[in-house]
Structures are given as C-alpha cells and as structure tokens.
Amino acid sequence: MKAIVDASVVLAWLQDEPGSDTAEPMLMEGVIGAANWSEVLQKGRQHGIAEELIARLLTSFGLTVEPVTREDGERAAGLWQPGIGLSLAGRLCMALGLRLKVPVATMDAAWDGVPGGPEILALR
C-alpha cells in the first residue's frame, strides 16, 4: 500500500529499532514530505552517517520526497491543538497525507485520533 511515511518510520528502520520489520515495506514506493526528509538526514548526520548515503539508500527503495506546499502549511497549522504534542514536521506529514488522500505511517502514539487528521497506520 502506498503511504506517507513519517520520519519516525524511516528512523526505526535505519536504526533497526522495534517495529523496523513493519517499517521496511512502507519504504517501498512510499512518500516522505520534505520536512520529514530533512529530519531523517539530520538524525543520520548526528550519528555520523553521510547524508548522501542515506539519500541513496532510501531512494533505492523507491521512496520519493514530496515538497511542502502552502496548502500543507495551512492544514498543518489547522491540525495544531494545545496539549496534543504534535511537532510541526508531524503536522506537515499529516497534511501531506490529507492532500494526497493516502494513509500516514508513524511510530508516534501522539498521532492517534487527531481531529481532522488523515488515516493513521500505527507501526508500533
């Protein structure tokens, strides 16, 4: 199934964390938003892995990067609610799922039941 993947999904797979076995299929022909792509590359850099290596590896799976649009920004702002604890990158990921009308895969429990959000595939 084509899905939007949150940075948490990609990072779980890259770091062989619990749930990485369910994360890998999501990388096949999946889509990641530019904000989450940046987060993945930054975390790799933080752990001493070259950004180019991570980019080549992930794109070899067929993972594509989708730009952030004005509409995404507006939807992400609308998804903010006090006390929910969703980051801007998380809300942009959800907005991308709404725009493309596909589910969003995440490892983050805070995403469950966000009013107005997309279908969430919780991979924990």
Token pair recorded at residue 32: 């990641």
Token pair recorded at residue 54: 């991570």
Question: Cα–Cα distance between 39 and 46 in angstroms, integer?
Answer: 10
Over residues 12-24, the pLDDT tens digits come to: 999 888 888 888 8
Which helix (H) or strand (E) covers residue 75, if one does? helix 70-79
Asked if 50 and 17 touch (Cβ cutoff 8 Å), the reply is: no
Between residues 1 and 27, the one the model is more confident about: 27
Asked if 44 and 97 touch (Cβ cutoff 8 Å), the reply is: no
Q: Which CATH number fits domain 4-122: 3.30.300.20, 3.10.450.50, 3.40.50.1010, 3.90.190.20?
A: 3.40.50.1010
Placement of tokens 């938003």 in the chain = 33
pTM of the model: 0.90
Question: Cα–Cα distance between 45 and 54 in angstroms, integer?
Answer: 9
Over residues 31-71, the pLDDT tens digits come to: 999 999 999 999 999 989 899 999 999 999 999 999 999 99
